[in-house]
């Protein structure tokens, strides 16, 4: 982002600080590549993450790399932010988060455990809901309780 030429840079500084905070947050929670290599012996692209973890995948899992040569697979670069892999020789680009989500099949099993995560936002929402009298009863429970109250 180019710095404005005018004397009032407060808006630029605000936007720059906001961008820096967003980038730091993304670095903290999203996978970022530190190194990438093609291992021809295993026929795997190996990615070393900044977190210290590593994973590998067959090139065929990325559309456009199916017929790539060993030299083309070896010539991979990491995006400046570390969130993308680029094979310029074959014009193929892949999101690191997308690759990992696909490799771990997150769409299928992650939603089952995501509700188990505790966060300050969830705790705040629960406290706010509690002040309103808690979770509303379902309509089937109300109809049962009203039948019981009407006598029988």
For residue 149, the model assigns a pLDDT of 46
Is 36 within a domain?
yes
Is 15 within a domain?
no
Tokens of 118: 């505790």
Is 54 within a domain?
yes
**Strand, coil or helix: what is 74?**
helix
Q: Distance between CA atoms of 37 and 77, rounded to whole angstroms?
A: 9
Is 13 within a domain?
no
For residue 140, the model assigns a pLDDT of 57
Is 132 within a domain?
no
Q: What separation in angstroms does the CA of 43 have from each of 22, 56, 72, 108, 114? A: 36, 9, 13, 27, 34
Q: Distance between CA atoms of 60 and 36, rounded to whole angstroms?
A: 16
Q: How many domains are contained in the chain? A: 1
Q: What are phi and psi of 124, to 5 degrees?
A: -60, -45
Q: Which residues have C-beta within 8 Å of that of residue 82, sequence separation ≥ 6?
A: 27, 32, 33, 34, 50, 96
Q: Distance between CA atoms of 152 and 136, rounded to whole angstroms?
A: 26
For 94, the domain range is 30-106
Query: pLDDT tens across 93-133, in order?
Result: 999 989 988 888 877 777 777 766 667 887 888 888 888 77
Query: pLDDT tens across 17-27, in order?
Result: 888 887 777 76
pTM for this model (two decimals): 0.60
For residue 3, the model assigns a pLDDT of 57
Q: What separation in angstroms does the CA of 111 have from each of 34, 41, 103? A: 28, 36, 16
For the chain, what's the residue count? 152
The CATH number of whichever domain residue 89 belongs to comes to 3.30.2020.40
């Amino acid at each position: 982002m180019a710095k404005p030429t005018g004397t009032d840079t407060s808006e630029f500084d605000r936007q720059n600080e906001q961008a820096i905070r967003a980038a730091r947050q993304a670095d903290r929670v999203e996978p970022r590549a530190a190194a990438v290599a093609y291992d021809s012996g295993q026929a795997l692209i190996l990615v070393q993450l900044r977190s210290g973890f590593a994973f590998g995948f067959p090139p065929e899992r990325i559309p456009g790399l199916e017929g790539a040569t060993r030299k083309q697979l070896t010539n991979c670069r990491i995006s400046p932010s570390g969130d993308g892999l680029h094979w310029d020789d074959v014009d193929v680009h892949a999101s690191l988060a997308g690759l990992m989500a696909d490799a771990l099949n997150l769409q299928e099993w992650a939603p089952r455990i995501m509700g188990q995560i505790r966060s300050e936002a969830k705790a705040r929402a629960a406290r706010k809901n509690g002040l309103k009298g808690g979770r509303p009863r379902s309509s089937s429970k109300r109809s049962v309780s009203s039948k019981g109250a009407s006598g029988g």
